[in-house]
């Protein structure tokens, strides 16, 4: 079967990351699934940390069952939640199919495993209650954030392996978007309450990026540290206005410089070979995606510039805006050097990281080309390496 709805679902997944209300988010994705996969209804159990239970936020279908938002709740001990969370259960964790469940139950009865029979019968009753013919989990690391459930297909045919596989990928994207929405909501609340807690929440948001990009664990923390070192060195050489405010904006921008990668498919982020031109174009969208995410948070207005422009080049050949020279915000110019340096020395599957001396030489060679001269001079001075200035 050709998955003719895949492009529409991918488009919905890209849109999700820009939506900062979880209720709006779930309506978007469920309506798309109902329309494109052609099921009678769909729903999503989402974990509510305050209640410590899973709540159905939305369920929509033209002819299928409809459940009022928040009306249905299930506990952590519900058989549906236990199915995905308990590793001891001898069944696949990527999905539950109604047809497979009946087979599991028959097998358990033949083996006279009373405990397993009771569990599976309870699970079947749960699925019957929501008229669910398939359930797909959404994990963030080991945390079960939500469970997507689908009703009968309108043509009465079962879901294909291709459809289930794509819905599993989509569930992962839904979870990342929901986590992002929660964190953005927390940011807006924390800004009003306490600056220190605000920075902690920013750090949590930054960690969600590294959870998606397996090759950059620790990268964000190193870029923050190096950016602040460069800034302090620059302050010794020349005055930076509103120093405390500048330093805080730089810290936040460095923490979130790659936040837009949440909107980039994991298969591109974690590709083990060099990216092709099309994939490189997708990656280059991440500064603009990051800026769109952060523009909704009032406290981020100044830091946003560092996120949006950290891939600009001093010679004007960068992206997304082709800024050159002093048009590039100083926060972005600093992050550009710190980010590039860390990327150079990290091992990737397709190439070995550079030695320190080689990376320093690359930074020096690109002084006045890719990188702002004043930033390069401050950076190299951290390693007691003189910058070779161009002769006029």
Q: What's the pTM value of the predicted model, to 2 decimals?
A: 0.56
Q: What is the pLDDT of residue 168?
A: 79
pLDDT attached to residue 218: 82
- Predicted pLDDT of residue 391: 47
Q: Return the axis-axis angle of helices 195-212 and 219-237, rounded to nearest 10°.
A: 130
C-alpha closest to that of 133 among 110, 156, 103: 156
pLDDT for 392? 42
Question: Taking residues 324-347, what's their average pLDDT?
Answer: 95
Identify which of 358, 391, 360, 392 has the alpha carbon closest to the alpha carbon of residue 376.
360
Least confident of 15-19, 50-54, 246-250, 256-260: 15-19
Using CA atoms, how far apart are residues 54 and 66, in angstroms rounded to an integer? Answer: 17
Residue 162: count of CB within 10 angstroms of its CB? 12
Q: Return the pLDDT at 1.
A: 42
The Cβ-side half-sphere exposure at 122, using a 13 Å CA radius, reads 14
Q: Which residues contact 374 (CB under 8 A, 6 or more apart)?
A: 234, 237, 238
Average pLDDT, rounded, for the chain: 82
Alpha-carbon dihedral sign for residues 86, 89, 95, 97: negative
Please, what are the domains in the chain?
A: 6-174 (3.30.450.40), 195-381 (1.10.3210.10)
């Amino acid at each position: 079967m050709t998955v003719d709805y895949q492009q529409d679902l991918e488009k919905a997944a890209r849109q999700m990351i820009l939506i900062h209300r979880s209720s709006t988010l779930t309506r978007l994705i469920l309506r798309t699934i109902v329309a494109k996969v052609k099921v009678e209804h769909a729903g999503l159990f989402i974990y509510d940390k305050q209640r410590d239970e899973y709540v159905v936020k939305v369920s929509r279908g033209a002819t299928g069952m409809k459940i009022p938002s928040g009306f249905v709740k299930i506990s952590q001990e519900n058989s549906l939640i236990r199915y995905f969370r308990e590793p001891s259960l001898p069944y696949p964790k990527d999905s539950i199919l109604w047809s497979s469940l009946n087979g599991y139950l028959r097998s358990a009865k033949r083996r006279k495993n009373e405990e397993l029979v009771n569990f599976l019968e309870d699970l079947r009753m749960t699925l019957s209650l929501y008229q669910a013919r398939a359930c797909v989990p959404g994990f963030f690391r080991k945390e079960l954030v939500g469970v997507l459930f689908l009703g009968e297909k309108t043509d009465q045919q079962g879901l294909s392996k291709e459809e289930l596989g794509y819905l599993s990928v989509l569930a992962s994207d839904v979870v990342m978007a929901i986590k992002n929405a929660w964190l953005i909501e927390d940011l807006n609340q924390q800004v009003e309450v306490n600056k220190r807690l605000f920075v902690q929440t920013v750090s949590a948001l930054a960690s969600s990026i590294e959870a998606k990009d397996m090759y950059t664990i620790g990268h964000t923390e190193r870029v923050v540290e190096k950016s602040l070192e460069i800034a302090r060195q620059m302050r010794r050489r020349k005055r930076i206005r509103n120093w405390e405010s500048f330093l805080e904006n730089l810290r936040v921008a460095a923490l979130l410089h790659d936040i837009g990668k949440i909107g980039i498919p994991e298969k591109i982020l974690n590709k083990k070979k060099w990216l092709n031109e099309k994939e490189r174009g997708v990656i280059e969208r991440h500064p603009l995606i990051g800026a769109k995410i952060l523009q909704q948070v009032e406290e981020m207005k100044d830091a946003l510039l560092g996120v949006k422009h950290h891939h600009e080049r001093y010679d004007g050949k960068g992206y997304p805006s082709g800024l050159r020279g002093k048009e590039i915000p100083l926060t972005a110019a600093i992050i550009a050097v710190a980010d590039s340096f860390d990327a150079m020395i990290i091992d990737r599957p397709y190439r070995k990281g550079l030695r320190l001396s080689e990376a320093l030489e690359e930074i020096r060679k690109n002084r006045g080309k890719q990188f702002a001269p004043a930033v390069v001079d401050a950076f190299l001075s951290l390693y007691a390496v003189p910058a070779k200035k161009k002769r006029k």
